[in-house]
Chains A and B, each alone.
Chain A
């Protein structure tokens, strides 16, 4: 393959991964923007999402990649999967907030963050103990349609992934920008106290942020399964850390930044895997995380949510 073809192929892969990371990063960024909390539970909400989608597809009679659909039926099945998963993980996220985090609201220090680590561990181990440690083959109704561009290949699943991610991000963007709840979110992120004074129900804003962020994580989980054709209890950790790096890269609290950061991390992963050694990919990504945090804590695209001092 020509250099350019390889590059193109890796860009296709990178953007696909990046779209997934971006969806996941949005959850981190929204929650951090509003209550300044790194939500470690988010890692495994994503993982649970990929399992829920698997169960949905299996319930609809799919198993493995043998049965494929085309046209409207395919879109219908994917939509059903997406809606169910997003609702399931959305409610999971909201429940986590309500049960484990709301009682700790306003406590200084690390207590809420430690709680999210605990919740993350619980989710991780429930799936491990009930679904087993082995990798599961994913039920995937997508046909293997591909287009050749030079020596590079663009597959249908990549196109679908881009479309779904883009649509969700656009939806979120409009939600935050133009709805009443979205504006309440922005206000709460700026100054919780002032927002409360102006009649914003901060508890509702926070739980909505958890719901939306977790729903997007669920969507990302489903996309993970469809893209890689497998899922496992362990996928949350690496993907979560990369998505978190993406959120930091884009300026944590900054929603468009998280999307760009996600794409950037996806590209770094695919190009780094191509031109450097795969086994060092994680080291590269973590080094980026550390460097950005140390030298540009506001992220590459600036505008951190104003810190509440």
Chain B
């Protein structure tokens, strides 16, 4: 049995089967649920129950939308109801008689399209415009309008840390109802906008009946569950999760966080806008009070209860809370009253539990956070443990010698310096972390940077990868300036890195960690992810294949664990995963920040070998390393930094003899002793 781990993985694929089974299982369960949802009105024809169920669908869609923002992208939005309001008023204005401009020729084409009607009333000299845009058209239009506002409100919050984001969104959530109240021309102010048209399907008007709205709501929920799940398991969804887990690492892996955060705001707001339209069409009215802070909190409770980030969870959470509110608490109140009559306790007879729903919300939030943060249906289910055989297998070093495929598709001129730094400088307050640094790295080499702690090595990496902006100097990659580019663009240009203190995405699987690394080399957008056209499937399959290939560099260290969460890995395996994640971005230059930290001598040797293997496959390596035996063994050139300055450069042997270096590391007296020892 001398199969390479790669072949093993492709071979019997136990995990793959599990996947198929769970996929089938999931489809089966979904189908049963949809059938049940459709049969519900037959089982319970009570108009009140049906109405409550129709409302429940609206809250389920809102929870799904909020889940995109909070659960996927990790942006705590406390003013989500604002987008619900925007969608609601958008439909309200275009389907009611609230705004009635004077009739003019301008409106004629719209009349022809059926969007407006010309209203003539006796005794009034001018005619007016009555808006009556179709519900079906307004559904996507409101989603777009809300998505637009999602971007507008999201943009200023992008630079903020998580907790400030919460308070700013809370502010926007507050402003929108105030604006609605204060602009009666559009919204009829506090009295509420009335007379929004109900949807009309093939000549059948929904009117005020609950049944058609219920089915429409179920359809919307199913549609949005579909969109959410498709997005989550795509390039876009993984980038969102990566931002949620570690923004800086996500950016350093090529994720454009500005763009993806705005996309999350837009998609989430779009869901809310659509729901707003549905809700107003159903109630045929909209008042500012329908969209205030308690609504946002209720939605938050739904997703916290169900499980942030879990699509099934948030729908269940929404349904549970609606059940609680519409049925359970009412029944419970009746029982408590009965109990009160029976026991003669007056207080029990009068208590109204429905009123205490918000109290219950508060209690749910606190209890869930204290005892079950992952929610009722966690986003991540437990993964089967490794078998005994897998756990005790002899580590193999991977089969990369056999198939020497290049790791990137770029053509590099071997005579032009790959990385050239001139006069690079960076100061933090009074401390000059990097001082007029000049440095050249030729293609195909392994260069080590050494220096005492605090000598500016990591700052130098941060300057090259765009995480920190330099004060002065130039950075060029193959002759092209990359100074001032964002980290994600630098990854795209071909520089990838690892971090000294490990920045994996802890709650994502190994596979997903790697797939995030393919972000810049793939192109699926949000629409593509939802439609999942053949080209998208192909790209996804290729990315997965690539991930397996990269994992195989580390033999059977990571391969059997690829569906495990990154946070369950051992320290050395986390280092390996970080390197793998950097490699999969297809770098021409790989920056490794203390790659062997925390590894035992055998593992260190193994990794040194693998690093050389990477170089043989065309990746130039620049590494920071404290273990001098590693440096001596693999580096062709060593650069020594001290106090942000380059004090020596040359082959390992040259550097060892350099007095400056000895002084920096050992101090003046020790240097003299060493010299004396060498002389005698």
Q: Which residues on A are within 8 Å of B, measured CB to CB?
A: 36-38, 100, 103-104, 107, 109-115, 117-122, 124-126, 128-129, 237, 241, 244, 248, 279-280, 282-283, 286-287, 289-290, 293-294, 297, 307
Say which residue of A107, A120, A125, A279 sits within 8 Å of B181 (CB atoms).
A279
Docked CA distance A38–B65 (Å): 24
Say which residue of A115, A237, A297 sits within 8 Å of B160 (CB atoms).
A297
Q: Are A129 and B359 in contact (CB under 8 A)?
A: yes
Docked CA distance A124–B78 (Å): 17
Q: Are B365 and A118 in contact (CB under 8 A)?
A: yes
Tell me which residues across on chain B come within 8 A of A115, comparing CB atoms: 365-366, 369-370
Tell me which residues across on chain A come within 8 A of B366, comparing CB atoms: 100, 115, 118-119, 122
Q: A113-B76, A290-B156 are in contact. Are A282 and B373 (CB under 8 A)?
A: no
Tell me which residues across on chain A come within 8 A of B162, comparing CB atoms: 109-110
Q: Are A237 and B74 in contact (CB under 8 A)?
A: no
Q: Are A289 and B167 in contact (CB under 8 A)?
A: yes
**CB closest chain-A residue, reference B164:** A293
* A/B interface sample: 25 pairs, CB < 8 A: A37-B163, A38-B167, A110-B70, A110-B166, A111-B373, A114-B76, A114-B300, A115-B369, A117-B362, A117-B365, A118-B369, A121-B361, A122-B366, A125-B362, A129-B356, A241-B174, A279-B181, A280-B182, A286-B172, A287-B175, A289-B168, A293-B160, A293-B167, A294-B160, A297-B160
Tell me which residues across on chain B come within 8 A of A287, comparing CB atoms: 175
A-B contact count (CB 8 A): 116
Tell me which residues across on chain A come within 8 A of B174, comparing CB atoms: 241, 282, 286
Say which residue of A114, A121, A282, A297 sits within 8 Å of B304 (CB atoms).
A114
With A117-B365, A128-B358, A129-B359 already in contact, 20 other A-B pairs whose C-beta atoms are closer than 8 Å: A37-B163, A103-B370, A110-B76, A111-B369, A113-B76, A114-B76, A118-B365, A121-B361, A124-B358, A124-B362, A125-B359, A279-B178, A280-B182, A283-B179, A286-B175, A287-B175, A293-B156, A293-B160, A294-B160, A307-B161
Q: Are A293 and B163 in contact (CB under 8 A)?
A: no
Tell me which residues across on chain B come within 8 A of A128, comparing CB atoms: 358
Tell me which residues across on chain A come within 8 A of B76, comparing CB atoms: 110, 113-114
Say which residue of A104, A114, A129 sits within 8 Å of B365 (CB atoms).
A114
Tell me which residues across on chain B come within 8 A of A279, comparing CB atoms: 178, 181-182
Q: Which of B160, B175, B179 has the most CB of A within 10 A?
A: B175
Whether, in the assembled complex, B527 has its beta carbon less than 8 Å from a beta carbon of chain A, the answer is no
Q: Are B178 and A104 in contact (CB under 8 A)?
A: no
Shortest Cβ distance from residue B641 to the other chain A in the assembled complex, whole angstroms: 22
Shortest Cβ distance from residue B75 to the other chain A in the assembled complex, whole angstroms: 9
Tell me which residues across on chain A come within 8 A of B156, comparing CB atoms: 290, 293-294
Q: Are A118 and B175 in contact (CB under 8 A)?
A: no
Q: Which of A104, A125, A129, A244 has the most CB of B within 10 A?
A: A125
Whether, in the assembled complex, B363 has its beta carbon less than 8 Å from a beta carbon of chain A, the answer is yes
Q: Which residues on B are within 8 Å of A, measured CB to CB?
A: 70, 74, 76, 78, 156-157, 159-164, 166-168, 170-172, 174-175, 178-179, 181-182, 293, 297, 300, 304, 355-356, 358-359, 361-366, 369-370, 373
Docked CA distance A113–B300 (Å): 12
**CB closest chain-A residue, reference B352:** A129
Docked CA distance A279–B359 (Å): 30
Tell me which residues across on chain A come within 8 A of B365, comparing CB atoms: 114-115, 117-118, 121
Tell me which residues across on chain A come within 8 A of B74, comparing CB atoms: 109-110
Shortest Cβ distance from residue A279 to the other chain B in the assembled complex, whole angstroms: 5
Shortest Cβ distance from residue A273 to the other chain B in the assembled complex, whole angstroms: 14
Docked CA distance A25–B186 (Å): 36
Tell me which residues across on chain A come within 8 A of B181, comparing CB atoms: 279
Please list the 5 inter-chain residue pairs (A to B) with the smallest Cβ-Cβ separation, ordered nearest first: A118-B365, A121-B362, A125-B359, A122-B362, A286-B171
Docked CA distance A129–B163 (Å): 30
Q: Which of B179, B300, B366 has the most CB of A within 10 A?
A: B366
Q: Are A104 and B369 in contact (CB under 8 A)?
A: yes
Say which residue of B293, B355, B363 sits within 8 Å of A118 (CB atoms).
B363
Docked CA distance A107–B178 (Å): 35
Shortest Cβ distance from residue A65 to the other chain B in the assembled complex, whole angstroms: 31
Docked CA distance A128–B78 (Å): 22
Tell me which residues across on chain A come within 8 A of B370, comparing CB atoms: 100, 103-104, 115
Q: Are B163 and A113 in contact (CB under 8 A)?
A: yes
Q: A103-B370, A125-B356, A290-B156 are in contact. Are A120 and B362 (CB under 8 A)?
A: yes
Shortest Cβ distance from residue B473 to the other chain A in the assembled complex, whole angstroms: 24
Docked CA distance A277–B4 (Å): 75
Docked CA distance A279–B175 (Å): 11
Q: Which of A100, A118, A128, A244 has the most CB of B within 10 A?
A: A118
Tell me which residues across on chain A come within 8 A of B70, comparing CB atoms: 110
Tell me which residues across on chain B come within 8 A of A282, comparing CB atoms: 174-175, 178
**CB closest chain-B residue, reference A279:** B182
Tell me which residues across on chain B come within 8 A of A118, comparing CB atoms: 361-366, 369
Docked CA distance A74–B141 (Å): 63
Q: Are A237 and B168 in contact (CB under 8 A)?
A: no
Docked CA distance A287–B365 (Å): 29
Docked CA distance A114–B304 (Å): 9
Docked CA distance A248–B165 (Å): 13
Tell me which residues across on chain B come within 8 A of A129, comparing CB atoms: 355-356, 359
Tell me which residues across on chain A come within 8 A of B364, comparing CB atoms: 118
Say which residue of A114, A117, A122, A248 sits within 8 Å of B359 (CB atoms).
A122
Q: Are A38 and B163 in contact (CB under 8 A)?
A: yes
Tell me which residues across on chain A come within 8 A of B163, comparing CB atoms: 36-38, 110, 113
